[in-house]
């Protein structure tokens, strides 16, 4: 499978898994605005601190956010370039499917002519 941007299938899986959850998408959007501590993020959601930490870990494994210790806190910063790469990857998939549909249409047109 051609995934472009030198993505491995595992990286693509991590990316889509990370973005598949509404809470993780919300965390990403918040950290694109400004770095946030995990504690600050945890106050935004009706879940445990540990659950938010897990969401952040999934986003970090996908490369969508980075974590950096700042004193006693861990600051989470969104990587907008990673999000842009995800958009570009989706555009590649769209282009691939459009080419396949165009070829399919050509085959159907040829069958009609026979």
Judge whether 4 lies within some domain.
no
What pLDDT score does 114 carry?
Answer: 66
Residue 91, in any domain of the structure: yes
Q: Which residues of 29-54 are buried (b: 16+ CB within 10 A; e: fewer)?
A: ebbeeebbebeebbeeeeeeeeebbe
- Give the mean model confidence (pLDDT) for residues 33-56: 96
pLDDT at 2 over 60: no
Place of tokens 């918040």: 30
Helices (H) and strands (E) in the chain, counts: 5, 3
For 68, the enclosing helix (H) or strand (E) is strand 65-70
In a domain, 88, yes or no: yes
**How many domains in the chain?**
1
pLDDT confidence of residue 73: 92
The model carries a pTM of 0.80
Q: What is the pLDDT of residue 109?
A: 78
> Cα dihedral sign for 93, 94, 99, 103?
positive
Does residue 51 form part of some domain?
yes
- 33 within some domain: yes
d(CA 4, CA 11): 11
Q: Give the pLDDT band (50/70/90) at residue 1.
A: very low
Dihedral angle at the C-alpha atoms of 87, 25, 79, 73, nearest 10 degrees?
A: -170
Domain of residue 32 covers 9-113
CATH code of the domain containing 95: 1.10.10.10
Which range, of 3-7, 58-62, 88-92, 95-99, averages the lowest pLDDT? 3-7
Collapsing DSSP to helix, strand or coil, 50 comes out as helix
Is residue 37 one of the residues assigned to a domain?
Answer: yes
Give the pLDDT mean for 72-100.
91
Q: What is the mean pLDDT of residues 11-39?
A: 95
The residue that leads in pLDDT, 51 or 2, is 51
Mean pLDDT for the chain?
90
């Amino acid at each position: 499978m051609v995934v472009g941007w030198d993505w491995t299938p595992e990286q693509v899986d991590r990316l889509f898994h990370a973005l598949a959850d509404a809470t993780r998408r919300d965390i990403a959007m918040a950290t694109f605005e400004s770095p946030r501590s995990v504690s600050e993020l945890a106050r935004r959601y009706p879940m445990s601190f540990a659950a938010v930490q897990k969401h952040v870990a999934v986003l970090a494994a996908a490369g969508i956010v980075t974590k950096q210790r700042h004193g006693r806190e861990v600051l989470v910063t969104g990587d907008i370039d990673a999000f842009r790469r995800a958009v570009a990857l989706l555009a590649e998939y769209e282009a691939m499917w459009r080419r396949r549909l165009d070829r399919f249409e050509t085959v159907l047109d040829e069958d009609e002519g026979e």
